[in-house]
Amino acid sequence: MQSDNLVHPSGLSLRPFSFLLSSLLVLLLLSGCARREAFNEDSQEMMVEDGAEGEPEIMTYDGKLLAQVVEDSVIYIVSTQELIQPFIREFGDGTVVDKVMISKVQETEEDTAAYYLVGLGIRNGAFRSMAMELDVAARNALYLSSKAAKHMCLADIGCSFCYFTFIGNKITGCECGTRSPGTNCVHKVADSNTLLKGTRIGENHRQNSKRR
């Protein structure tokens, strides 16, 4: 009976070599599968990361409608009286605000008109003012957002009134109205404001609109 062993003509058996070769093939196949699985997992993680980075960040706009410009006139939707207390709170230093208005700023006809919400007041006999640029939306509606920069003019007692100075339509500083020696206005700027935070302004306007 012939033997099943593979025998080299030299008389050496080839079965050990065949077994070794089979083992190497199995190891190579297993290694290849493991590498493919690892590569797929890494690719999936990258795709997830790329997808997360590619998603647009959702920003919530918190602007509140205050007024509307009609034929170059400002029509107040929220009364200026409602904004006095928010201005007093925004100053936060004892400043008594007695006047609020919306002012148009446009240095030349070539400049785009900008609108600022302005509060005027007094602290210990010294003049104070605060201004925030309003966002202009469709139909010239004017909104105030918490992201609007807050400009303040803080006058010395010798200065009875401070003007905001501007270039184009942007506030750049403050200047004392008298321009006398020793009088001074300090310009301070904050990147944002909390003027309307927690307020319920415009309730009267909304109620009147519903009645109509």
> DSSP states of 128-194 as a string?
EEEEEEPEE-GGGEEEE-TTS-EEEEEE-TT-S-EEEEEETTEEEEEEESS--TT--EEEEEES---
Q: Quote the domain boundaries for residue 116.
A: 64-198
Which of 30, 58, 86 is the C-terminal boundary of a domain?
Answer: 58
Instruction: Tell me the C-alpha distance between 87 and 132, whole Å.
Output: 11
Does 101 share its domain with 192? yes
The reply to whether 121 and 28 lie within a common domain is no
Residue where one domain finishes, among candidates 14, 30, 58: 58
Is residue 116 domain-shared with residue 43, that is, in the same domain? no
| Number of domains comprising the chain | 2
Residues 74, 172: one domain?
Answer: yes
R_g over Cα of the chain: 37
Range in 15-19, 87-91, 177-181, 200-204 with the lowest mean pLDDT: 15-19
Closest of 117, 120, 84, 119 to residue 103, by C-alpha: 117
Query: Do 181 and 141 reside in the same domain of the chain?
Result: yes
Residue 90: inside a domain: yes
Q: Is residue 23 part of a domain?
A: yes
Strands annotated E in 71-138: 73-76, 96-105, 114-123, 126-133, 135-136
Cβ count within 10 A of residue 59 = 7
Q: State whether 170 and 82 are in the same domain.
A: yes
In terms of domains, do 46 and 125 share one? no
**Would you state the pLDDT for residue 184?**
87
Answer with the one of 9, 32, 58 that is the final residue of a domain. 58
Q: Is 168 a member of any domain?
A: yes
Averaged over 178-190, what is the pLDDT? 87
For residue 140, tell me if it sits in a domain.
yes
Question: What's the burial of 39, exposed, middle or buried (CB within 10 Å: 0-12/13-18/19+)?
Answer: exposed
**Residue 210 falls within a domain, yes or no?**
no
pLDDT of residue 204: 56
> Are 82 and 157 within one domain?
yes
Is 157 inside any structural domain?
A: yes
> Residue 59 — very low, low, confident or very high, per pLDDT cuts 50/70/90?
confident
pLDDT tops 90 at residue 130: yes
Question: The tokens of 4 are what?
Answer: 């099943």
